Amino acid sequence: MAARQLLLISSSQVHGYEYLQCAENDINNLLRKNNVSSVLFIPYALKDHDKYLKMVKNPFLKWGYQVDGIHNRENPVEAVQSAEAIFIGGGNTFRLLKALYDNNLIDIIRKRVFEQGIPYIGSSAGTNVATKSIHTTNDMPIVFPPTFDALKLVPFNINPHYMDHDEKSTHKGETREERILQYLEEPHAAPVLGLREGNSLLVEGNNAILKGVTRARLFMPGNEAKEISPEADLSFLMNLNY
């Protein structure tokens, strides 16, 4: 069995950077060491697939990679079977997960990642669906996937775009941390890694390293949340069983 290779990005668009620029080095390191020349893009998280593909092509073409949209292929399963690498972008996580199930892509993506070790890059919703479940997404359930169970490429959950409470704000709604803590009260809850914008998680086999320009926040059931700095080793999360 080949080692999984994942780059799970909080956000493609980070203040002060162009689209995907904040993760440019990590994306290129992952793709180049695997001799990738073309990337299969899965745009199902947004409705206008052609417009989304056009936006994604710009940085990848600049870096030297061809990009093929899965929506332009007659058979989505065969597209994944022949892909050198997969990139799933952001948008609505519920819409994305439903489309993955509707197109019978869950099992084939898992097989390509776990058995053949092809690189998987996810951003925002694409990161959400790479985890154990989408219970900790920030999105509205605009459609209903058959289950909240996701690709389970990692055995925990991630909250992309994690935001801290602004002490100066007069807003009295629940904070992101409170929402995550409510999830952790449930018996099925798994650890949650809150990735602030500018964060990503690099997974190679059973090794996981926090990457990026900001700290992340880790929520473990039954424990106090803690801050995690870039380059921290989070490999212990890969061996947890929840």
Residue 99, phi-psi category: left (phi > 0), alpha (psi -120 to 50), beta (remainder): alpha
Q: How many C-beta atoms surround the C-beta of residue 15 within 10 A? A: 8
* Distances from the Cα of 157 to the Cα of 22, 47, 184, angstroms: 22, 25, 11
CA dist 240 and 230 (Å) reads: 21
Active-site pick, 38, 68, 149, 161: 161
Q: Residues 151, 155, 156, 161: is their CA dihedral positive or negative?
A: negative
Task: Examine the residue annotation and report whether 124 is marked as an active-site residue of this protein.
Answer: yes
CA dist 183 and 191 (Å) reads: 10
Active-site pick, 10, 12, 123, 139: 139
Active-site pick, 11, 123, 124, 200: 124
Residues designated as active site: 124, 139, 161
